[in-house]
Amino acid sequence: MMRQLVSISVVATVLMFPTVSAQVAAATPEMDKLIAAAKKEGQVEVILSGQVPRKLRAAMPAFQKKYGVKINFQTGSGRKHAERILAERRAGRFTVDVWLGGANTALVQLLPNKALASFPELLIDPEVKDPKLWFKGKHHYTDPEHRYIFTWGASPAYNISYNTKMVKPEEIKSYHDLLNPKWKGKIVSWSPGAQGTAASSVPMFINPKIGEKWFRRWANEMKPVIVTDARQAAEWVAIGRFPIGLFGTSTQAEILAGQNFPIAGWLPHPMAEGEVLSASAANLMAMDRAPNPNARNLFINWALSKEGQSLFIKIGEKTDSLRRDVDNKVIAQQYRIDPEGEYYVPFSDPTYINKQSEIITKLRTIMKEAGYK
Amino acid sequence: MTTVQSAVAPPGKVRLPGTGMFVMAVLILFFGFYIIYPIVLIFIQSFNAEGVIVGEYRFSFVNWVKAFEEPGTLESLGNTIVVFFAYTAVAFPLAVLISWILARTPIRFSRGLEFMFWVSFMLPALTTTIGWTLLLDPYFGFINVMAKNVLFLDGPLFDIYSVEGIVFAHLMGNAISQKVMLLTPAFRNMNVTLEEAGRVSGAGRLRTMMRITLPVMVPPMVVVFMLNTVRMFNSFEIEQILGTPIKFYVYSTRIFSLVREVEPPGYGEATALASLTLIIILIFIPLQRWLLTRRQYTTISGDYKPGLIHLGPLQPFAFILVVFVVALLTVVPVLTLLGGSFMTRAGFFQATPTYTLDHWRTVLADPIFFRALSTTFIIAISTAIISPVMFSMVAYVLVRRNWPGRLALDSIFWVSAGIPGMLSGLGLLWVILDTPGLNWLFGTTWILIIVAILQGKLTSIQMFKSTFLQMGQDMEEAARTAGAGWLYTYFRIWLPLIAPTMILLGTLNFVLAAGATSSVILLASRDTVTLSLLALEYMTTNVGAAREVAGIISLFIVAMTAGLALVARWFGFQVGVKDRGV
């Protein structure tokens, strides 16, 4: 039965996108020229920062094998890479071609310092260039000018983890259920104003059904216990010290669930306030004045191709591709984007893009005013 | 000028004006460039209203005003001071007592026990803290659960998530072990004839210790206390883990948060906050000079006679005390680190499967691991060899030579402690990138070696200074009379005498170099990633069992350091003055 479903979906995909198949088969002269130029450069320097990009180390050899262009990659904190790269650039050294990572560092550090190249012009491969092949029929950029930070993946955001022996999922159908006095002092959380939780907390702040008022009530009335380590929070939920974990605890909760702890990292139903798609660190950026511009462009076109995206979501495990022709059955159901689903898409919302830093500052202020420094 | 100085110099100082001026100028320029210049750049940027990373320079006090007008700043400062003095009040006297027992009494396994304090120092503070949370968590901590069941207590026996818990975690971390490590060799440099004289005059053991031993040990004790005080604002890991859940915030957590958690990083504000250390340093420099010059501290001279004092019936109790402290400091973190590396989730026996080899496989299959291992070894071994030689010579110049500029040179090293590594590392990055002729260093192992060496400068120089203060002038005078120059005297007379301190500081700097993160993170390239940076990356990625994997990498660092320490100690026994119970 399962096999049949898979076969039907594959056939349906091919039927839905006949032009895609034809385009994949046809290599364009422009692409051939690019491949030749990239081979001449011989290498590409890539930054992989953030949880999912770090995992994508395993995808890099596929590019190297296909084009014979060596990939040199660096993992680690995006903030540290940004500081180093900006200092290098000020001194006239340009060492990085491509950046895969979170949008916030890019918006706050890379973009204002003109370290990123305009992206649309770099898309050469017809199967990448065509916006119809992408979610909502367009390319998604998480920057005000819609041309620097290309968002290639996303998945439904899960902000709540819970101890399955202490909480029934139906007890939490809305974020306002978390303001029920019975949960007072029983929620452990990362601070919503921390950088690592912005992808979860900022959309909630923007959502008029949740908003600033909810955060103020939650921080002041519910007296959550704030920690700075997601693993510590999730472990406390898993062993029953706290029934509920919030903001940034879901990933760890799922790992614990896999180790047989009574914890879940996601609720089996959507929240009453609506579902959110979170891109997290699934962004691709081209560095301006790249040392290997052709290899950079080739890598970008490969990474966004059906082949590249299929590999990315398979290895990334928890992020779906925004390409609609990629078979997302390789990832678990709860991480797949439902093409018919109703989502708030923050990375397409100018408020999210333009006011992210301002909202994070506001969230920090709310927490400080509630006594959390 | 030089003649005037020589005329007022104490007897025994060698007059070499030409060489002296030249050597001091080179030292001040070299260390000023690598230590002070990056700090100056960071300070200049702290007055940049546009932020360090983004925008052009625009002079303003805004960062300084913002830093200190933040509500809770004074409270967090008070908390830092309370915690620091609480653990120092316990750690310092205990460390002095243990060092004295190890060095001055015929305690069994003295060398082995001393080495265990070194091992304790090598263990990451974070691992130690996590290990203790597994035992003392009020909800599931093993000791608290046992106490509830056996003693029928309603609440936990001891809640590690408390101010007392934070103090305890510091004690179990490096607060005791580092002091024992630094003080024991100094106590070994004690001439037994001084103590014997006290005993012959009718003083008891305690009185001899209080009236003879401790007063002549003032230089190392003052130095150790000052070194700890200027680093009061550098510790944040313990407070972050144990303090945040109970809303207990310290000053250093704010500095850390501004640098690591705010986007873009608040370097300006962090510099303003960290600069408070400079006030402490400004008080310390003259205070230290006054304390160390007001009297003679010589314990080793031509008639130096090493020896031990038997404690009589108290000797077995002294042994039990030291063994107990060693066990507290090492057993829990080693078990957490080693045992946890074989567990699916360290400390959680409920996990399925409970035991696994996956974390070891992850480490050994990581393509960066072996490269990082080799880079770390090169950096750490270079540091361990170069830093004691270099800094002992600088200390020798500061203590034994009457050359001009000593106060300026000494101040350079003290001022360096005013800015934490995470800020000075950025300053050094700018210096290296913006200085023509130096930017080739960027991304190479050389720059990491330079940083690693300089990292241990303050402790090394101050400890060597206190060691030189313990040495009498007579041996140098004898060498000089025989026609030896200062370099020859240094290598033939001083080097064998200071061998234990050199071994100690070589090992200490090896540990610091192998564990360096914030000072090197901006300077390492993809080819020069170190083990500590790799461990940090695993720790900070919210993926899988990254903490266990990071723990295994730490184990490699500890094993490497312990191996080196053993070799170094053996070597020290061969070259040092014999029968001093090194």
Smallest Cβ distance to A113: which of B54, B76, B245?
A: B54
**What pLDDT was estimated at residue B334?**
86
Please write down the HEC assignment for all residues of B97-137.
HHHHHHHHCCCCCHHHHHHHHHHHHHCCHHHHHHHHHHHHC
CB atoms within 10 A of CB B152: 7
Residue A229 with chain B: CB contacts under 8 Å? 241
Output DSSP code: residue A304. Answer: T
Is the Cβ of A251 closer than 8 Å to some Cβ of chain B? yes
DSSP letter for each residue of A323-338: BTTS-GGGS-GGGS--
Arithmetic mean of pLDDT, B199-209: 74
Backbone angles phi, psi at A275, to 5 degrees: -95, 150
- Homologous superfamily (CATH) of A2-154+279-341 is Periplasmic binding protein-like II (3.40.190.10)
**What pLDDT was estimated at residue B541?**
66
Q: Let me know: does A371 contact B247? Beta carbons within 8 Å.
A: yes
Q: A207-221, B359-373, B435-449: which has the minimum mean pLDDT? A: B435-449
Q: How far apart are CA A27 and CA B72, in angstroms?
A: 63
- pLDDT tens per residue across span A37-78: 999 999 999 999 988 888 899 999 999 999 999 999 998 888
- pLDDT tens per residue across span A199-208: 889 999 999 9
Give A26's pLDDT tier (boundaries 50, 70, 90): very low
Rg (CA), chain B: 25
Q: How far apart are CA B446 and CA B440, in angstroms?
A: 10
Return the top range by mean pLDDT from A97-106, B124-133, B245-254, B459-468.
A97-106
Arithmetic mean of pLDDT, A111-134: 94
Q: How far apart are CA A273 and CA A210, in angstroms?
A: 7
Q: Residues of chain B with pLDDT > 90: what percent?
A: 29
* Domain at B360-576, CATH class: mainly alpha
Q: Let me know: does B60 contact B230? Beta carbons within 8 Å.
A: no
Arithmetic mean of pLDDT, B209-223: 80
Arithmetic mean of pLDDT, B415-419: 80
**What pLDDT was estimated at residue A24?**
42
Where do the structural domains in chain B lie, given as residue ranges?
75-339, 360-576
Is the Cβ of B442 closer than 8 Å to some Cβ of chain A? yes
Q: How far apart are CA B262 and CA B254, in angstroms?
A: 10
Arithmetic mean of pLDDT, B90-110: 93
**What pLDDT was estimated at residue A184?**
96
- Res A14 pLDDT > 60: no
Is the Cβ of A71 closer than 8 Å to some Cβ of chain B? no
Q: Residues of chain B with pLDDT > 70: what percent?
A: 90
Q: B47-61, B160-174, B301-315: which has the minimum mean pLDDT? A: B301-315
Q: In terms of DSSP H, where are the helices of B123-176?
A: 125-136, 142-151, 163-170
**What pLDDT was estimated at residue B219?**
81
Smallest Cβ distance to A80: which of B140, B348, B521?
A: B521
Q: How far apart are CA A128 and CA A326, in angstroms?
A: 12
- Res B346 pLDDT > 80: yes
Arithmetic mean of pLDDT, B35-52: 85
Q: Let me know: does B331 contact B127? Beta carbons within 8 Å.
A: no
Where do the structural domains in chain A lie, given as residue ranges?
2-154+279-341, 159-266+357-369
State CA A354 to chain mean position distance: 18
Calculate the average pLDDT of chain B: 84
Same fold? B75-339, B360-576: yes
CA distance B545 to chain A (A): 8
Is the Cβ of B350 closer than 8 Å to some Cβ of chain A? yes
Arithmetic mean of pLDDT, A205-232: 94
Comparison of pLDDT for A305 and B188, the residue scoring more:
A305
Output DSSP code: residue B339. Answer: H
Smallest Cβ distance to B53: which of A75, A109, A225?
A: A109
Arithmetic mean of pLDDT, B500-526: 87
Arithmetic mean of pLDDT, A187-202: 88
Is the Cβ of A84 closer than 8 Å to some Cβ of chain B? yes
- pLDDT tens per residue across span B533-545: 888 888 776 555 5
Q: How far apart are CA B80 and CA B72, in angstroms?
A: 12
Give A20's pLDDT tier (boundaries 50, 70, 90): very low
Contact residues, B window 12-51, toward A, CB-based 8 Å cutoff: none
**What pLDDT was estimated at residue A265?**
94
Q: How far apart are CA B279 and CA B244, in angstroms?
A: 28
**What pLDDT was estimated at residue B582?**
31
**What pLDDT was estimated at residue B400?**
81
Give B20's pLDDT tier (boundaries 50, 70, 90): confident
Token representation of residue A13: 């995909």
Residue tagged 């340093």 (tokens): B281
Give B284's pLDDT tier (boundaries 50, 70, 90): confident
**What pLDDT was estimated at residue B573?**
67
Is the Cβ of B244 closer than 8 Å to some Cβ of chain A? yes
Arithmetic mean of pLDDT, B439-448: 88
Q: What is the ipTM of this complex?
A: 0.82
A162 three-class SS: strand
Domain B75-339, classified CATH 1.10.3720.10, yes or no = yes
* Domain at A159-266+357-369, CATH class: alpha beta
Arithmetic mean of pLDDT, A128-143: 94
**What pLDDT was estimated at residue B54?**
52
**What pLDDT was estimated at residue B299?**
61
Is the Cβ of A126 closer than 8 Å to some Cβ of chain B? no
